[in-house]
């Protein structure tokens, strides 16, 4: 009996020693190994660091804002050996009610960095950051206040000004249209920047503004576009996410019915050249490219490297290569238009002009023309 007791004690002691050697908490983002060389998930093991995003109601395939963000996260994942469900992922929101459960699900799944794509997720990201101090969060297009969260914003008014210049140089009717998603301070920056750019070329140009009050209503976008095009507007700039798909649909339908008609759409957030293809024609004049993909990649890299800019606001504009104007449609964007756009871009970069960001600032700007 004494020998059996001794063996039992010996085995129990060895078990305790092995358990102690295998202990430790690996769930906290702050305890992750920040060496990117050890971050690969190719061998099937749980990745050392993970990032995910929650879309707004436009969806991950909105051909615009959300899609650009996801493309950035996918590219970042490819660089580190991550794939969807193994290091990176997204949660799609079909209604505002989905924001909270989507963020909470990603928290429960132990993602280290969680992006809220769009200003409508501000309150959700703010609350999640306060309740989960061991995770990192990021909000795109708004500002939150938390040491474990970063705010990503853009100078959309700069790019909108430049596509306004292009629209003013392209129009034959001197009537332009702007279709916004939700009437808000953010989308107002697109609106007033566009108007300022167009009127800088021609102060007498007319710009009609309508809001769909949705970023995911393509049918509403098509209806608004039909009304505008029927009123002799020949160039429409949209800043409306998935709603803008309807604007493209209407322009393609009209072009298909009358191939000789000059009718244009200006895309937003990513180069929407492909959305304008109709047979041998393309109705996409240009796009105001907002490099959400670059911002998502940059922030993900900083977090992975242990340099997460918590509590900061990162703003991307022309100088940061976060804003640009697409020139893919070489037939529509002529050398004269591109040259003029570049001249105005230099004026913005040199602070020779200050692009307005609000409707009040626009009034002052117009008075100075």
Residue 30 falls inside a structural domain: no
Question: Does 264 share its domain with 115?
Answer: no
CA angle in degrees (0–180, nearest 5) for 238-241-244: 45
> Using CA atoms, how far apart are residues 222 and 216, in angstroms rounded to an integer?
12
Q: Is the pLDDT of residue 32 over 50?
A: no
Question: Does 162 share its domain with 256?
Answer: yes
Residue 281, classified by CB atoms within 10 Å of its CB into exposed (0-12), middle (13-18) or buried (19+), is middle
Residue 102 falls inside a structural domain: yes
Question: Does 214 share its domain with 254?
Answer: yes
Q: Which pLDDT value is given to residue 77?
A: 97
Query: Which is more confident, 21 or 224?
Result: 224
Distances in whole angstroms, Cα of residue 166 to Cα of each of 136, 194, 261, 323 = 40, 10, 18, 15
> pLDDT band at 45, cuts 50/70/90?
low
Q: Return the structure tokens found at 223.
A: 């209806």
DSSP assignment of 155-195, as one string?
A: -HHHHHHHHHHHHHHH-SSSEEEEEESS-SHHHHHHHHHHH
Picking from 118, 109, 107, the residue whose alpha carbon sits closest to that of residue 140 is: 118
CB 149 within 8 A of CB 136: yes
Domain that holds residue 250: 156-289+334-367
Residues 6+ apart with CB under 8 A from 88: 50, 51, 52, 73, 74, 76, 77, 82
Question: Does 339 share its domain with 221?
Answer: yes
pLDDT in tens, 151-171: 999 999 999 999 999 999 999
Q: Which pLDDT value is given to residue 205?
A: 98
Size of the chain in residues: 369
The CATH number of whichever domain residue 254 belongs to comes to 3.40.50.2300
Question: Does 305 share its domain with 354?
Answer: no
Q: Which pLDDT value is given to residue 10?
A: 40
Q: What is the mean pLDDT of the chain?
A: 90
Cα dihedral value 142, 276, 179, 338, nearest 10: 80
Q: Which pLDDT value is given to residue 58?
A: 81
Residue 62, classified by CB atoms within 10 Å of its CB into exposed (0-12), middle (13-18) or buried (19+), is buried
pTM for this prediction: 0.83
> pLDDT band at 272, cuts 50/70/90?
very high
> Using CA atoms, how far apart are residues 55 and 349, in angstroms rounded to an integer?
32
pLDDT in tens, 295-336: 999 999 999 999 999 999 999 999 988 999 999 999 999 999
Backbone angles phi, psi at 42, to 5 degrees: -65, -30
Q: Return the structure tokens found at 258.
A: 């009358």
Q: Is the pLDDT of residue 91 over 90?
A: yes
Q: Which pLDDT value is given to residue 44?
A: 52
> pLDDT band at 7, cuts 50/70/90?
very low
H or E segment to which residue 67 belongs: helix 65-80
Question: Does 279 share its domain with 358?
Answer: yes
Picking from 149, 152, 120, the residue whose alpha carbon sits closest to that of residue 132 is: 149
Residue 222 falls inside a structural domain: yes
Q: Which pLDDT value is given to residue 74?
A: 98
Say how many domains are in the chain.
Answer: 2
Question: Does 356 share its domain with 214?
Answer: yes
Give the mean model confidence (pLDDT) for residues 192-202.
Answer: 98
Question: Does 100 share its domain with 192?
Answer: no
Query: Which is more confident, 174 or 61?
Result: 174
Residue 124 falls inside a structural domain: yes
Question: Does 176 share its domain with 244?
Answer: yes
In 22-41, which positions are buried (b, 16+ CB within 10 angstroms) versus exposed (e)? eeeeeeebeebebebeebeb
> pLDDT band at 233, cuts 50/70/90?
very high
Q: Is the pLDDT of residue 196 over 70?
A: yes
> Using CA atoms, how far apart are residues 66 and 5, in angstroms rounded to an integer?
65
> Using CA atoms, how far apart are residues 104 and 121, in angstroms rounded to an integer?
13
Q: Is the pLDDT of residue 27 over 50?
A: no
Question: Does 111 share its domain with 184?
Answer: no
Q: Is the pLDDT of residue 21 over 80?
A: no
Question: Does 145 share its domain with 54?
Answer: yes
Q: Is the pLDDT of residue 281 over 50?
A: yes
Question: Does 361 share its domain with 268?
Answer: yes
């Amino acid at each position: 009996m004494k020998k059996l007791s001794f063996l039992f004690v010996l085995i129990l002691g060895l078990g305790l020693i092995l358990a102690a050697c295998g202990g430790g908490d690996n769930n906290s983002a702050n305890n992750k190994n920040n060496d990117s060389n050890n971050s690969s998930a190719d061998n099937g093991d749980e990745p050392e660091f993970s990032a995910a995003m929650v879309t707004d109601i436009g969806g991950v395939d909105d051909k615009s804002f959300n899609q650009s963000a996801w493309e950035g996260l996918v590219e970042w994942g490819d660089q580190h050996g991550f794939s969807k469900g193994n290091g990176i992922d997204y949660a799609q929101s079909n209604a505002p009610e989905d924001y909270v459960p989507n963020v909470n699900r990603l928290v429960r799944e132990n993602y280290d960095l969680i992006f809220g794509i769009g200003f409508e997720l501000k309150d959700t990201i703010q609350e999640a950051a306060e309740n989960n101090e061991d995770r990192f969060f990021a909000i795109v297009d708004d500002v939150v206040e938390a040491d474990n969260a970063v705010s990503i914003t853009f100078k959309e008014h700069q790019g909108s000004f430049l596509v306004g210049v292009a629209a003013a140089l392209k129009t034959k009717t001197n009537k332009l249209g702007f279709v916004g998603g939700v009437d808000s301070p953010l989308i107002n920056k697109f609106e007033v920047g566009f108007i300022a750019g167009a009127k800088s070329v021609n102060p007498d140009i007319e710009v009609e503004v309508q809001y769909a009050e949705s970023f995911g209503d393509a049918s509403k976008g098509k209806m608004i576009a039909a009304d505008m095009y029927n009123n002799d507007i020949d160039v429409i700039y949209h800043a409306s996410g998935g709603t803008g798909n309807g604007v493209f649909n209407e322009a393609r339908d009209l072009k298909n019915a009358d191939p000789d008609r000059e009718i244009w759409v200006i895309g937003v957030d990513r180069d929407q050249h492909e959305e304008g293809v109709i047979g041998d024609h393309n109705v996409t004049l240009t796009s105001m490219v907002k490099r959400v993909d670059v911002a998502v990649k940059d922030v993900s890299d900083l977090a992975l490297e242990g340099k997460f800019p918590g509590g900061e606001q990162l703003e991307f504009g022309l100088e940061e290569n976060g804003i640009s104007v697409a020139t893919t449609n070489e037939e529509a964007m002529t050398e004269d238009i591109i040259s003029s756009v570049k001249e105005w871009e230099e004026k913005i970069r040199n602070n020779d002009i200050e692009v307005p960001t609000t409707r009040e600032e626009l009034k002052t700007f117009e008075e100075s023309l």
